[in-house]
Amino acid sequence: MEAATARLKSRPAERGGYGRSERRLAAAMLAPSLIVIAAVAAYPIGYAFWLSLTEYSVRVPDRWRFVGFDNYTDALSSPEFWDALTTTFIFSGISVALELVIGLGMALCMHEAFKGRALLRTVVLVPWAILTVVTAITWRTIFEPGLGLAPVLLDKLGLPGADVVWLGQEPYALGVMILADVWKTAPFMALLILAGLQVIPDELYDAAKVDGASAWQRFWRVTLPLLKPAILVALIFRTLDALRIFDLPYVLTQGANGTTTLSLIAQQELTANRLIGLGSALSILTFVIVMVVAFIYIRAVGGNIRALAEET
Amino acid sequence: MLRVAAMLAALAIGIAGCGGSGDDDDGGGGDAKKVTEAKPTGNVTWCIGKDTTGAFGTVVDNFNKQNPDANVKLLELPEDATLQREQQIQRLQAESDECDVLGMDVIWTAEYAGQGWLQDISDAVEKRKDEFIPSTVETALYEDKYWAMPFNTNAGFLYYRDDQVPEAPANWEDVYKQAQQDNGVVYQGFRYEGLTVNFLELLYSAGGSVVNDDATEATADSQEVRDVLTFMADGIKDGAAPKAVTTYKEEESRRAFESGNATFMRNWPYAYALGKESKIGDEFAITTFPGYGGNEGAGVLGGYNLAISAYSKNPEGSLAFINFATEPEQQVIQASEASLPAVLTEVYSDPKVEKAMPFAADLLKAVEQAQPRPVSPVYPQMSEAIYNHVYAALQGDESPDEAASQMNEDIQKAIETF
């Protein structure tokens, strides 16, 4: 008995000692990656933040000054920033929602066992494998007024829209941008969801069938709840990507007709106008916005995984 | 706590120090290096946009053949002008000596000179000034010094279907009237640099301006600007120009014209040879820009200048190459073999050039009547102010009055950039 208490008593101390050396080892093993992260992420972000507090002259060599948060006040008080922010969120919201629905549909199709499944899976992935810039050029050509595939097709079919200058008018230009994005990234969504589908055990479906669940009920009660983690991960990836969208509007419209996004205005100030301070401030603002959204998502996923773990 | 305070103090001192250093140099390249002597020796790297026609390679080969002591190397930048500028600026900001000779779009000259990235070649340019078409030399002048030598130039033409319009109208008003009756006029109405050019061509023809002579004050809130904006916006409203021009760059306009969907087109000379091979090849002609509002026609100058990087280790060799590339002999080759409009007046009457460019006489006239865009280190911002508001007027998002005063305000803001 005494021995047992002694053992018990000594355990916390032992655990502490063991833990400390373990922690030290962990720290040592983490150090290289932390240093790399610091070098490739923290330093550039810190430097961009520092630049955002300065103003470099575009007319005199090597002249610059510290302006504090002036660049942020400039950015936040300009209607262009808020327009771009709204556009970015509308674009992200609609395109990610569409990608989710379409991606889910594609994933369910690809999951079914049938002849030619391998071929289907490959074909579906093609749009995702194409560079965004190429995608954008393709869609711009498709919607070229009078000569592109879309107006010609609409005209032949007698549908409305043949005379619409798709990329030259609000809100159609944003519509084309969303279409191009959905076309390109729905397969990516499908791929991530498919991975989620494949880990759902068949026994659950068998059990549901035995209990008399219809196909619809099986989808809502079995598939969807178990897919939630995969869907959330896919949503995080896509939303963060969508919030930083640059290449599509850059090639399709250069931001004209209600397609100016946050990244686009940051790039315009940084490289075209060479306003390093203002451009950096815009980049930092974009970074903060994306980070806040990421944080909200992570909280949501974290909670969900725990809830799921408790349920099962 | 103490340490934090000390750090803050150090930071504040650092900041104050930096702030102070800001004001002592107002030189605008005042202490720029000056190149006076040309010596064809050593290695020279020429950084210019992609050599799509092979013409740049020819100049380099010819130079290397005639100058065994020198070795010029061509470094091709992207085909897109915006990306060329980005590539050059990255190198210049890094003070890289990789590029000796820079091939710059005429609108970058002031910006590069202002940043102290170029060497002063006034002596060399002054010596040969009379050989050049005067308007082309103006693009290389910034703060009373020449920073570059014109290499090739460009100016727009009015293309018209001579099966529909037997004779080119004498002014833009008639072009639009005729266009409304026939098949319309197409131009570059997309929101980009090209729209600035298209707008300035009309504005210069109307006798207007967007900045004063030394580009230190905005002058866009004027009757001429409002008139031209009204004219362009009405053109779209009344159907003289299709709504689609707001999505057109050079290539889209060319395709629309060649497919027979337009009676008139504003475009650069490059569209001539391509158009002659299209299905309307026998049904169009070109002319220099007509007048506007009772004034003579005017255009906007394009083209490239050659300059020496401030970080070049071989400025003498670079100058020798620049002189060579702008000699009549080489300019004739560039014009006749690659259709690059020459900067020397005499080249346009060379039989070889006249044969390769049947429109050579018109082109010379177009270049002579063309004016440079504002020569200013903040030109990119000015142009953004111009095309944003012209575009808003074309789309009906801003009235011509609003667009003019907003444009003026934004240009002034650009001028006042630190």
Bridge partners for B70 per DSSP:
B42
Closest A-chain CA to B117: A61
The pLDDT value recorded for residue A21 is 86
Percentage above 70 pLDDT, chain B: 93
Half-sphere exposure of B27 (CA within 13 A, CB side): 14
Report chain B residues whose CB lies below 8 A from the CB of A63.
Answer: 22-23, 25-26, 418
Closest B-chain CA to A63: B22
**How many angstroms separate the CA of residue B152 from the nearest CA in chain A?**
23
Q: Using CB atoms, pick whichever of A146, A169, A254 lies closest to residue B192.
A: A254
Enumerate long-range contacts of B216-222, CB under 8 Å, 24 or more apart.
Answer: B216/B415, B217/B412, B217/B415, B218/B408, B218/B409, B218/B411, B218/B412, B218/B415, B219/B408, B220/B386, B220/B404, B220/B407, B220/B408, B220/B411, B221/B404, B221/B405, B221/B407, B221/B408, B222/B404
Q: What is the ipTM of this complex?
A: 0.77
Closest B-chain CA to A169: B395
Please indicate whether, in this complex, the C-beta atoms of B18 and A254 are within 8 angstroms of each other. no
Report chain B residues whose CB lies below 8 A from the CB of A268.
Answer: 384
pLDDT greater than 70 at residue B28: no
The pLDDT value recorded for residue A124 is 87
Q: Where in chain B is the domain with CATH 3.40.190.10?
A: 42-154+302-371, 157-300+378-415
CA angle B249, B250, B252 (to 5 degrees): 65
Lowest mean pLDDT among A28-32, B7-11, B405-409: B7-11
Closest A-chain CA to B391: A256
pLDDT greater than 50 at residue B8: no
Using the CB atoms, write b or e for A258-292: b if 16+ within 10 Å: bbbbbbbbbbbbbbbbbbbbbbbbbbbbbbebbee
The pLDDT value recorded for residue B4 is 45
Please indicate whether, in this complex, the C-beta atoms of B244 and A168 are within 8 angstroms of each other. yes
Interface probe for A, chosen from B111, B191, B247 (most Cβ of A below 10 Å), is B247
The pLDDT value recorded for residue A300 is 77
**How many angstroms separate the CA of residue A238 from the nearest CA in chain B?**
28
Residues of chain A with pLDDT under 50: 1, 5-6, 8, 10-14, 16
Please indicate whether, in this complex, the C-beta atoms of A268 and B384 are within 8 angstroms of each other. yes
Percentage above 90 pLDDT, chain B: 84
Please indicate whether, in this complex, the C-beta atoms of B26 and A254 are within 8 angstroms of each other. no
**How many angstroms separate the CA of residue B393 from the nearest CA in chain A?**
12
CATH of domain B42-154+302-371: 3.40.190.10
Classify domain B157-300+378-415 at the CATH topology level. Answer: D-Maltodextrin-Binding Protein; domain 2 (3.40.190)
Q: Using CB atoms, pick whichever of A59, A169, A256 lies closest to residue B191.
A: A256
Please indicate whether, in this complex, the C-beta atoms of A256 and B391 are within 8 angstroms of each other. yes
Please tell me the distance from the alpha carbon of residue A187 to that of residue A94, in angstroms, as a whole number: 16
Closest B-chain CA to A255: B191
Closest B-chain CA to A64: B22
Mean pLDDT of chain B: 90
Q: Encode pLDDT of B65-116 as tens digits.
A: 999 999 999 999 998 888 999 999 999 999 999 999 999 999 999 999 999 9
| A168 interfaces chain B, CB cutoff of 8 Å | yes
| B256 interfaces chain A, CB cutoff of 8 Å | yes
| B249 interfaces chain A, CB cutoff of 8 Å | no
**How many angstroms separate the CA of residue B118 from the nearest CA in chain A?**
11
**For residue A206, which amino acid is it?**
D
| A13 interfaces chain B, CB cutoff of 8 Å | no
Q: Using CB atoms, pick whichever of B82, B114, B247 lies closest to residue A59.
A: B114
Token digits for B316? 């003498």
Q: Encode pLDDT of B272-314 as tens digits.
A: 988 999 999 999 999 999 999 999 999 999 999 999 999 999 9
pLDDT greater than 90 at residue B3: no
Report chain B residues whose CB lies below 8 A from the CB of A272.
Answer: 82, 380, 384
Q: Encode pLDDT of B40-70 as tens digits.
A: 999 999 999 999 888 999 999 999 999 999 9
Please indicate whether, in this complex, the C-beta atoms of B381 and A66 are within 8 angstroms of each other. no
| B18 interfaces chain A, CB cutoff of 8 Å | yes
Lowest mean pLDDT among A27-31, A64-68, B31-35, B212-216: B31-35
Report chain A residues whose CB lies below 8 A from the CB of B27.
Answer: 60-61
**How many angstroms separate the CA of residue B418 from the nearest CA in chain A?**
5
pLDDT average, residue stretch B358-368: 94
| A115 interfaces chain B, CB cutoff of 8 Å | no
Q: Using CB atoms, pick whichever of A165, A253, A273 lies closest to residue B244.
A: A165
Token digits for B380? 């990119």
The pLDDT value recorded for residue B153 is 95
Q: Which residues in chain B (78-137) have CB-CB distances under 8 A to chain A?
A: 82, 86, 89, 111, 114-117
**How many angstroms separate the CA of residue A89 from the nearest CA in chain B?**
22
Closest A-chain CA to B252: A144
The pLDDT value recorded for residue A304 is 60
Closest CA to B108 of B140, B77, B133, B83: B140
Closest B-chain CA to A271: B86
